[in-house]
Amino acid sequence: MNQPQNVRILIPEAMKKSVSRRMFLGGSAALGVTAFLAACSSGSGGGGSSSGGLNIYTWGEYDDPAVLTDYTSAKGPKITLDSYGSNPEMIAKLSAAKGTTGYDICVPTHSNIQQMATAGLLTELDHSRLPNMKNLVAKVVNTPFDPGNKYSVCKDWGSTGYVYDTTIIKRDLKSWADFLDAAQKEASGSMSLLEDQSEVAYTYFYANGIDENTTDPAHIAAYRSFIIDKIAPHVQAFESSTNASISSSARALIHCWNGDGRLGILANAEPDRYKWVWPTEGANLWQDNWAIVKGAPHEDAAYEFINYVLDPVVSLKELLYIGYNTGIEGIEEAAKKADIKRPDMVFISDDIMKKLVYSQMTSAEGTIIGIYDELKAAAGK
Amino acid sequence: MTVAGGASPRLPSRRRIRPADTFLNVWGVLGLVFLFFPIVVIVVFSFNSGRTLQTFDGIGMEAYVAALSNPAIVNSITVSLITATGTAVVATLLGTFAGIALTRQPGWWAPGLLILLGLVMVTPEIVSAISLLPWFVTLGVDNGLAAFNIGQVRLIIANSLFASAVVTFIVRARMTGMNQSLEEAAADLYAPPFRRFTDITLPLIRPAVISGALLAFTLSLDNTVVSSFVSVAGSTPWPVYIFASLKASLRPEIAAMSTLMLVLTLIVLAIAALILRRDPSGSGGGAAGLTSAMVGR
Amino acid sequence: MTAVEERSAPTQTAADTPPGRRRLRLPGGLGAVPISLWILLFFILPFGLVVWYSFGYKPGIYETHANDILSLDRYGEAASPAFFAIFLRTLKIAVTGTVLCLLIAFPMAYWMAVKLAPKWRGIVLALVLIPYWTNFLVRTIGWQISLSPTGFVSKLLQWANLTDGPMHVLYTSAAVQLGVVYNYLPLMILPLYVALERLDPKLLEASRDLGGTAWDTLWRITAPLSAPGVTAGMLLVFVPLMGDYITPTVLGGASGSMVGQMVAAQFQSAQNWALGAAMAVLLMLAIFGTSAVVGGILKVAGRITTAMTSLKLPSKEPS
């Protein structure tokens, strides 16, 4: 009779709390199990279109948010966007994950498509599911970098230049040589370069009259010593998604693409503060393309989305927002009728087009990437 | 004699150290201000009704509305909370058993395990990140174990390593101070090991287990680097979402949601402090007990 | 234990165990098996893989790694002047950051543990912990907003005529230094607080009674007794600081870059896993190396200080 009494005295606290503790243990176990099950069902990348989403891996601020919500209301799938700042970053992520990234669509620049296809990162496109491809102008389909559009469809095309803060840089800048010069003088410590290894190289090549696709080791060595000795100390940041910096007047000199420059200038409280420059020596010409990632969990939604964006009305909305030429037949007239702001930055005039050169994947690519890494390491004070 | 810091008037030495006292008071308060400065900035900027986070453009609640109605943000918060719960469960289970084993029945393996756990804790996140992604891909793709392709699974595993090491140390610290005779007595009374564990051991280490679970939960919510490497699209946790927005453009919604998350964390911690305060064996009361447990003393 | 004494029934020992009922003891260390397996599978093996990669090379532009030819060349590359400069910069920021954290945290912890009335300690401790519980990235972004050249701090300083022109702190090493000190300060305060709280206030009083100045008390009593807390704090700050990836990304721009970003870049854009792995291994070695060196120095310093400040009591034994 005495023993139960003693046990109670022996461990009073434990007995008192045993119920709540058991409930706690059981509760957390139950919670854990439910959480795990919930997680498995919501996070299943391989679940196909049952989860009804669409995951797009693209550049920053590269789609009109209204277009995306319109797509969701029209077709159903909710879109998630993840962004990258350069093609190597996108390729690195896709190839490291070997198809498990969960992305459906990616947006490679033209020069990378062959490489990505060879590496097995892209799905071959079934054109029967993209009837709106017929809306594209001849210039952007069946191109040398993707004959027959096996892997990609044109999203938009554009060129590279820079903007500068006219309140800080009081002189007129007109060329890449001016850009590199101002970077070392007025804009020192307040300039940014694109995160794109090749684009940074092109600033030097164009400023020195060298073909942007050069593989001459002497040229590349000269580029290396210039960029690391002369420019690296003055760089404040490497940034591809520049419109936020432009609109908040964060830097004096910003290397950027024409559409981002336009977005930034239009969003700036003082629209005349930044001036966009089409450099006189010429610049890079590029085309960004929709491509479907191999192993895409929502392939149907991917095709639907790409087809949706190729519609002239939707394409016009995109163009009005992102400021890049989407390559749809008659888009320029439609845009001008819609009173597009700063058409000069979207529709490139013929005399500028003459000086633009398509970038190519050359044998010097590896060296140029290495120089860019060194530049990043040496940059800033 | 009086305790240091208490009022002890008219001791000659008191007057000598008074300037030092003021200095310490000022320093302490300034330190707190410093610690809270960016938090206050974020909370204030969460009421920014402008387009970008950095440029303050009018006061309003638009950011909160936008944040709660943004499917990407809500999804990432959900992912974060689920991951944190999963991590807390896994880490607490692993860590509690390990902590008990290390204290009660340490064998030849004990120093090895301690070194291993220490290694887990001193490895920078970036190193864990670059080693886990190829590993998950190897397991999931090359070896066909499809579970490792699920974003949530990857996140929980990635977050649970550090967390379980932390919980182990916390439980171990707690158990080291506990007398073994209670368990011995239970064994003498023919209690099977399971009942010894659930009726004796567990209640006594309850504060350590709770603080360990909480710590694992909060650490997981905060995990950015490893998560950004291993996450799968559609299961993007909240900090990774912010990190990605950093490169594109920051919106006030991020500040708004962060403020909400801060409030949530505070509520959880308040509940925890309440639970721990009611436990008489917690040393020095709720917060200090949690701290002592955290630092493993 | 009073509990045992209160048992009035005769003590039952193993010898009294009725037949058929044995005391069940699970094999020692069973509880440690799950975590060991977990760590083995998800930490040791992947890290071993990384070390394995570091001996390989990058076969071509479009491939990430290959290990058919093993060499230490990647380590040479990782230690090349361009990258080594970043290692040194990281080390500099980490060491400076740890020292600054210590200098700022010690008076604060002392204030909290010794000077504050006990009823306030819990609240102040909670106040210290709240920023720590906020998301790391978010509080760093808070600094990014504050330090911006067009931000409110800059405008305030310009209005007060303390600077001419916008503040140029953001995207420099200085901003990163500030950011890391801020982010890791709670990790230094906490162990110091715990150590100082255990300090017996009677010791401090005794020191004063024996004629010691406040300074004497600080250096000869408080500091040595809080040494374990100092060591713990320095370790807790230095180690993650060395590998910090977020603070330099948010606040550093191009110039504040640290090793963590370099390693990440090799995996995220340059696709050179071998080089990235070598850098990661070097980072770990740097962390261990510095900790060991500093630990050694502190130990020696501690021995010297003890020797210099200890009293030799007269021996009681007959010689």
CATH number, position B157: 1.10.3720.10
Contact in structure between A299 and A226 (CB atoms under 8 Å):
no
* Cβ-defined contact of B122 to C232 (cutoff 8 Å): no
- The chain A residue lying nearest B136, using CA atoms, is A97
Contact in structure between B222 and B125 (CB atoms under 8 Å):
no
A102 closest CB neighbour out of B146, B156, B234: B234
Distance from CA of A200 to the nearest CA of B (A): 18
- Return residue ranges of chain A for CATH 3.40.190.10: 7-157+287-346, 158-284+352-378
Pairing relationship of beta strands A283-292 and A235-238 according to DSSP bridges:
unpaired
**Spacing of C-alpha C123 from chain mean position:** 24
Identify the CATH number of the domain in which residue C94 sits: 1.10.3720.10
Residue B158 lies in a domain: yes
B55 touches chain A (CB under 8 A): yes
SS3 call for A136: strand
Q: Which residues in chain B have Cβ-Cβ distances shorter than 8 Å to C46? A: 128, 131-132, 134-135
- Of the candidates C133, C138, C155, C184, the one whose C-alpha atom is nearest the C-alpha of residue B43 is C138
C260 closest CB neighbour out of B124, B161, B262: B124
Question: Using alpha carbons only, what angle is made at residue A145 by residues A140 and A149, rounded to the nearest 5 degrees?
Answer: 60
C149 touches chain B (CB under 8 A): no
- Residue C41: other Cβ atoms inside 10 A: 13
Q: Which residues in chain B have Cβ-Cβ distances shorter than 8 Å to C42? A: 132, 135, 157-158, 161
The whole-number pLDDT of residue C25 equals 59
Q: What are the φ/ψ torsions at residue B182 (nearest 5 degrees)?
A: -65, -45
Residue B8 lies in a domain: no
Residue C126 lies in a domain: yes
Contact in structure between A39 and B152 (CB atoms under 8 Å):
yes
Residue B13 lies in a domain: no
Rounded to whole angstroms, how far apart are CA atoms B173 and B117?
A: 14
Rounded to whole angstroms, how far apart are CA atoms A144 and A137?
A: 15
Distances from the Cα of A133 to the Cα of A157, B268, C134, angstroms: 16, 54, 49
- How many CA atoms does the CB half-sphere of B16 hold within 13 Å? 9
- Of the candidates B45, A380, B51, B34, the one whose C-alpha atom is nearest the C-alpha of residue C173 is A380
Contact in structure between C108 and C309 (CB atoms under 8 Å):
no
C224 touches chain B (CB under 8 A): no
Does domain A7-157+287-346 correspond to CATH entry 3.40.30.10? Answer: no
B213 touches chain A (CB under 8 A): yes
Cβ under 8 Å to B: C residues 259-318: 260, 263-264, 267, 273, 276-277, 280, 283-284, 287-288
Residue C43 lies in a domain: no
Domain count, chain B: 1
Cβ under 8 Å to A: B residues 118-147: 133-134, 136-137, 140-142, 146
Residue span of the structural domain in which B106 resides: 67-295
DSSP state of A213: T
* Cβ-defined contact of A53 to B234 (cutoff 8 Å): yes
Interior/surface letters A131-155, b for 16+ CB within 10 angstroms, e for the rest: ebbebbeeebbebebbeebebbbbb
Helix (H) or strand (E) holding C211: none
SS3 call for A248: coil
Return the structure tokens found at A209: 């009259």
Return the structure tokens found at A7: 């046990």
Distance from CA of B154 to the nearest CA of C (A): 10
Pairing relationship of beta strands A152-165 and A53-59 according to DSSP bridges:
unpaired
* The amino acid at A18: S
SS3 call for C71: coil
The whole-number pLDDT of residue B196 equals 76
- Of the candidates C23, A201, A159, the one whose C-alpha atom is nearest the C-alpha of residue B188 is C23
Contact in structure between B225 and B248 (CB atoms under 8 Å):
no
Which of B79, B90, B181, B247 to mutate to probe the A interface, most A CBs <10 Å?
A: B247
Q: What is the pLDDT confidence band of residue B176, given thresholds at 50, 70 and 90?
A: confident
- Residue A124: other Cβ atoms inside 10 A: 11
Distances from the Cα of A116 to the Cα of A110, A215, B233, angstroms: 10, 21, 19
Rounded to whole angstroms, how far apart are CA atoms A104 and A113?
A: 16
Which of A50, A80, A106, A238 to mutate to probe the B interface, most B CBs <10 Å?
A: A80
Which of A6, A228, A255, A371 to mutate to probe the C interface, most C CBs <10 Å?
A: A6
Residue with tokens 């799968």: B232
Return the structure tokens found at A112: 């990378």
Rounded to whole angstroms, how far apart are CA atoms B189 and C23?
A: 9
Burial level of B18, CB count in 10 A (0-12/13-18/19+)?
Answer: exposed
User: Quick one: average pLDDT of B19-35?
Assistant: 90
Residue B230 lies in a domain: yes
Q: Would you tell me the crossing angle of helices B71-104 and B62-69 to the nearest 10 degrees?
A: 70
Residue C303 lies in a domain: no
Rounded to whole angstroms, how far apart are CA atoms B44 and C146?
A: 11
* Cβ-defined contact of B126 to C280 (cutoff 8 Å): yes
Rounded to whole angstroms, how far apart are CA atoms A104 and C124?
A: 49
ipTM comes to 0.82
C43 closest CB neighbour out of B102, B120, B225: B120
Positive/negative CA dihedral, A243, A246, A252, A257 = positive
The whole-number pLDDT of residue A298 equals 92
Contact in structure between B116 and B238 (CB atoms under 8 Å):
no
Residues 6+ apart with CB under 8 A from A49: A77, A297, A298, A300, A301
- Of the candidates A137, A109, A255, the one whose C-alpha atom is nearest the C-alpha of residue A194 is A255
- Of the candidates B295, A64, A368, B38, the one whose C-alpha atom is nearest the C-alpha of residue C188 is B295
- Of the candidates B128, B22, A179, the one whose C-alpha atom is nearest the C-alpha of residue C214 is B22
Helices (H), chain C: 2-6, 32-39, 45-54, 73-78, 81-110, 118-133, 136-147, 152-159, 173-197, 201-209, 214-216, 223-225, 227-242, 246-247, 259-268, 273-309
Residue C212 lies in a domain: yes
Q: What are the φ/ψ torsions at residue A356 (nearest 5 degrees)?
A: -90, 140
**CATH code for residues A158-284+352-378:** 3.40.190.10
* The amino acid at A343: P
Distances from the Cα of B118 to the Cα of B39, B91, B94, B113, C235, angstroms: 31, 15, 15, 8, 12
Return the structure tokens found at B89: 């469960």
A365 closest CB neighbour out of C61, C83, C252: C61
Return the structure tokens found at C80: 């090349």
Q: What are the φ/ψ torsions at residue B237 (nearest 5 degrees)?
A: -75, 165
* Cβ-defined contact of C62 to A189 (cutoff 8 Å): no
Residue B136 lies in a domain: yes
Distance from CA of C316 to the nearest CA of B (A): 31
SS3 call for A81: strand
User: Quick one: average pLDDT of B227-248?
Assistant: 87
* Cβ-defined contact of B124 to C242 (cutoff 8 Å): yes
Residue span of the structural domain in which C88 resides: 80-257
Rounded to whole angstroms, how far apart are CA atoms A76 and B52?
A: 29
Residue-wise pLDDT tens for chain C (319 aa)?
444 444 444 444 444 545 545 555 566 678 888 999 999 999 999 999 999 988 888 877 667 777 778 888 888 888 888 788 888 889 999 999 999 999 999 999 999 988 888 888 888 988 898 888 888 999 999 999 999 888 888 888 888 888 777 788 888 889 999 999 999 999 999 889 888 888 888 888 888 888 878 777 777 788 888 888 888 888 889 988 998 989 999 998 877 688 888 888 888 877 888 888 999 999 999 888 888 888 888 788 778 877 877 777 777 666 5
For residue B86, pLDDT over 80 is answered with yes
Residue-wise pLDDT tens for chain A (381 aa)?
444 444 344 434 444 444 444 444 444 444 444 444 444 444 433 333 335 789 999 998 899 889 998 999 999 898 888 888 889 889 988 888 888 888 999 999 999 999 899 989 999 999 999 999 999 999 999 999 999 999 999 999 999 999 999 999 999 999 999 999 999 999 998 899 998 889 999 999 999 999 999 999 999 999 999 999 999 999 998 999 898 889 888 899 999 999 999 999 998 989 899 999 999 999 999 999 999 999 899 999 999 999 999 999 999 999 998 999 999 999 999 999 999 999 999 999 999 999 999 998 888 888 898 898 888 888 865
Q: Which residues in chain B have Cβ-Cβ distances shorter than 8 Å to A86? A: none
- The chain A residue lying nearest C83, using CA atoms, is A377
DSSP state of B52: S
The whole-number pLDDT of residue A38 equals 42
Residue B45 lies in a domain: no
CA dihedral B181, B186, B187, B192 (to 10 degrees): -140
Rounded to whole angstroms, how far apart are CA atoms A329 and A290?
A: 18
B189 touches chain A (CB under 8 A): yes
Residue B42 lies in a domain: no
User: Quick one: average pLDDT of B137-164?
Assistant: 88
Return the structure tokens found at B87: 């991590």
- Of the candidates A161, A165, A158, the one whose C-alpha atom is nearest the C-alpha of residue A271 is A165
Q: How many CB pairs under 8 A join A and C?
A: 91
* Cβ-defined contact of B222 to C136 (cutoff 8 Å): yes
Which of C90, C110, C114, C134 to mutate to probe the B interface, most B CBs <10 Å?
A: C134
Rounded to whole angstroms, how far apart are CA atoms A369 and C305?
A: 53
SS3 call for C251: helix
Distance from CA of B106 to the nearest CA of C (A): 6
The whole-number pLDDT of residue B279 equals 54
Chains touching chain C through at least 3 C-beta pairs below 8 angstroms are A, B
* Cβ-defined contact of C3 to B269 (cutoff 8 Å): no
B153 touches chain A (CB under 8 A): yes
Residue B277 lies in a domain: yes
Q: Which residues in chain B have Cβ-Cβ distances shorter than 8 Å to C246? A: 224-225, 243
